[in-house]
Amino acid sequence: MFRSVPPSPADPVYLLSQRVREDTAPGKVDLGVGVYRNEQGRYHELRALKAAKRILAQEDANHDYGVTTGNAAFLANAAKLFFGREAEVLSSKRVTSVQAISGTGAIHLGALFLARTPAFAGKKVYVGTPAWGNYVPLFNLVGLEVATYRHYDAATGKVDFQSVLEATRIAEQGSIFVLQGCCHNPSGADFSPAQWDELADAMEAKKLFPLFDMAYQGLGSSLDEDAYGLRLFASRGFELVACQSFSKNFGLYGERVGVVHALSQDAEVASKVYESLRCLIRWEFSSSPAYGARLVDIVLNDDKLRQDWEIELATIQKRLADNRRALHAELVEKRQILRCRKARGNWGSILSSNGLFCFLPLNPQQCERLAAEFHIHLLQNGRMNVAGLNRSNIEHVASALVEVTNSASSRL
């Protein structure tokens, strides 16, 4: 029977991870998978997380099943982090929050909920490209059709905002728009506050539905600044779904800690939404992992730990910005001063992007050569994880980029 199983599409991120593991060169550089690496190129455990683990160990929490929809205290703290501690949408009980299997599971659960809601029957999901590779299969999996438009302008290294607005003009009323709140994956090209304001106007005029994907809050700017778009739409009276992940900003990648928040018109509707999400969770995975959620709740519930967490997030955000400036300086500024050969291409995207990622102006052949000859690994579309850079490898990366972009055989 299993001979009839159809072939599955390749996963570029999985293949890249496999190649990195198989590369035994001592100086290999992993600029691929979206994980924050510290200056030593290793997993970084936050100080507040270490403290929370010690506290949880003292509490001797059991391993019984939790409530189907998740830890209530954790969910309340997660909602405050997203919408703001004093947000009216929380005090009016219009937000339904349920735990999910990290950010990917949150988007799946949110998509499944929308697909089963009669108001969205026949509606398309609009996704800006280039996009996170899971969006299209996730929405298709629950029976939603995806339409695409251009989010990123490679020539400028910024958002193609006119393309975004044009998509809102042609979309039918009630269409779903996937909006990354900050640190866009894969481009790092984010909306400015003024663009968020204009986008809210355009979507309100067409009665379009926002689905926020917020996997990197605190890695672009401050926690509050990174939530600007979400909080704007909430204050403007939109109904929406917002998907939250604590993988990146808590370093809890393997614990799968996520939340789906649904903002409704009133508390009565919100209670119906809760029951619908509760059923979907029960039918799909019954109850959520407890360990990671307990750790997040300990940190967010303790003023001292939370302050330390925010301070360390700011340090991480600064390091990502410093890495960008250092690589750009090696590629362009220093070589200009020294009259050395510069890397061909427009490298402005390094400085104009936010968060973990940016696009380098490379083609697949150049990316392949970086891996094969220089042991520098990144996705073949040129997406780079800025956290993979450090003081010991930036000069090597820059020299390799100069070499591959100046080679006639691999030139764009």
**Catalytic (active-site) positions:** 132, 213, 248
Nearest 10 degrees: Cα torsion 22, 28, 31, 32: 0
For the record, the structure tokens of 383 come out as: 């997406």
Beta strand segments in 26-75, E: 29-30
Tokens 């996997």 -> residue:
215
Half-sphere exposure of 350 (CA within 13 A, CB side): 21
d(CA 187, CA 411): 21
Whether 277 and 96 have beta carbons less than 8 Å apart is answered as yes
Closest by CA to 34, choosing from 336, 291, 251, is 251
The answer to whether 116 touches 290, Cβ cutoff 8 Å, is no
Q: Say how far apart CA 120 and CA 218 lie, in whole Å.
A: 32
- Pairing type for strands 145-150 and 124-129 reads parallel
β-strands 209-214, 176-180: how paired?
A: parallel
CB atoms within 10 A of CB 156: 13
Q: Tell me how far apart the alpha carbons of residues 169 and 182 are, in angstroms, rounded to a whole number.
A: 23
Pairing of strands 158-159, 152-153: antiparallel
CB 298 within 8 A of CB 121: no
- The single-letter DSSP state of residue 15 is H
Chain mean position to CA 290: 22
Residue type, 14: Y
Mapping DSSP to helix (H, G, I), strand (E, B) and coil, where does residue 385 land? strand
Query: Using alpha carbons only, what angle is made at residue 216 by residues 311 and 14, rounded to the nearest 5 degrees?
Result: 125
- What are the residues whose beta carbons fall under 8 Å from the beta carbon of 50, sequence distance 6 or more? none
d(CA 189, CA 159): 6
- What DSSP character marks residue 333? I
